[in-house]
Structure 1
């Protein structure tokens, strides 16, 4: 097995899915975190001047989506066979449709009044739309409680992470969606993730 180092800021953000997968698999890795003071020294060494970066046996790789896909394949979170991999990618596609709406609220919109309106829309209308999509996929997959197949995949982990961000803004946001809420409990029941969540920042 290769030696892994994950380089990211001292925050969850785009590095958290990789951390969750590493912990879910019980795979040892170095969790290298940067502050605003230490990041400028490392930035010129990165492939594209951004984080996250995954270091595999000393070689650096950028682009979060590529990193997640690689780890999912290496650690066994991409389903069994190409059809299940396609199903995983469908769920990831839904999350990637939701992310720009979140970025607009949390990072791009500067007008405070407009930001407040967009946040309210995100936590009600947008969340309901995508949570219903997530529940539809979960129900179509049968009684396993997972998005794909009968075990944990990157789909479960990525959805868990993105919903976490919304929960920090509205604690009860998942309550009207019992199937999605049960899926989150499935993710949290993974021994490696359970141990990580107890100590994470």
Structure 2
């Protein structure tokens, strides 16, 4: 008699951000999971129940794990998305760690756009976003070209780092639709990941996406709706 499948419960805000790479993994491997959404109103009372006062949190069997990258790596190893060889595994981890630094470089502009911090959007676009994109986007393109397979770690299929990077760039593309026009390899990478059969059939990903555009007439954030605001804020802080 086979043991029952583990019961996975992801606890996070009802947004994409830090929880999305985890959801992408579950959907890609067709693993059922409970997507437990904690509202911003309930967060203060729930915070003390988390290991480090942060989300996302994954509960599986009798264990609790926090930190989005740690959760992604755990699931990647469990479901065969960590890389097939030792080199692919190391490469995936290397790029994931690099990507964490990239997110930090974009953060001042993203935070201001999201309304998390005060700042001059136009100045930050010029002084932060453009230099960061001109530095990092060619590196990602080179990584994809070097892989020969279209997947970052160089394997014949995706690893967790492909989902991690694709989701972040999908967000960037949301507020700057033409941002990858000069980076066709990155554009094709996004299309490749989001057109994977196991992901393409999930309209959930696209329904959750909220486009946020830089305001050209104001130094403050421009939101399409009040509901858009927490979709970016809560996750980037990793609160």
TM-score (ref. length: structure 1): 0.90
Structure 1 or 2, whichever has the larger Rg, is 2
Deviations 1:152-191 (A, max 9, x none): 1112111101111211221111121111111111111222
Match of 1:90 in 2: 94
Deviation at 1:200, TM superposition (A): 3.3
Q: Give, in whole Å, the separation in 1 of the partners of 2:188 and 2:144.
A: 10
Candidates 102, 107, 111, aligned match of 1:103: 107
**Any conservation in 2 of the 1:94–1:130 contact (CA below 8 Å)?**
no
Q: Give, in whole Å, the separation in 2 of the partners of 1:89 and 1:7.
A: 24
Match of 1:23 in 2: 27
TM-score (ref. length: structure 2): 0.77
Which stretch has the larger CA shift, 177-186 or 102-111? 102-111
Q: Give, in whole Å, the separation in 2 of the partners of 1:193 and 1:11.
A: 17
RCO higher in structure (CA 8 A, sep ≥6): 2
Match of 1:174 in 2: 180
Deviation at 1:199, TM superposition (A): 4.1
Q: Give, in whole Å, the separation in 2 of the partners of 1:40 and 1:74.
A: 32
**Any conservation in 2 of the 1:101–1:122 contact (CA below 8 Å)?**
yes
Shift in CA distance, 170/40, structure 1 to aligned 2, threshold 3 Å: same
Match of 2:71 in 1: 67
**Any conservation in 1 of the 2:106–2:132 contact (CA below 8 Å)?**
no
Match of 2:147 in 1: 141
**Any conservation in 1 of the 2:15–2:208 contact (CA below 8 Å)?**
no
The DSSP-based 3-state class of the residue aligned with 2:35 is strand
Deviation at 1:112, TM superposition (A): 2.3
Structure with bigger helix share is 1
Deviation at 1:131, TM superposition (A): 1.2
Deviation at 1:75, TM superposition (A): 1.6
Match of 2:168 in 1: 162
Aligned length: 199
Which stretch has the larger CA shift, 3-12 or 190-199? 190-199
Shift in CA distance, 131/162, structure 1 to aligned 2, threshold 3 Å: same
Verify: 1:197 aligned to 2:205, yes or no. yes
**Any conservation in 2 of the 1:95–1:162 contact (CA below 8 Å)?**
no
Deviation at 1:125, TM superposition (A): 2.1
Deviation at 1:111, TM superposition (A): 4.1
Q: Give, in whole Å, the separation in 1 of the partners of 2:107 and 2:174.
A: 15
Candidates 126, 131, 136, aligned match of 1:125: 131
CA RMSD of aligned residues (A): 1.9
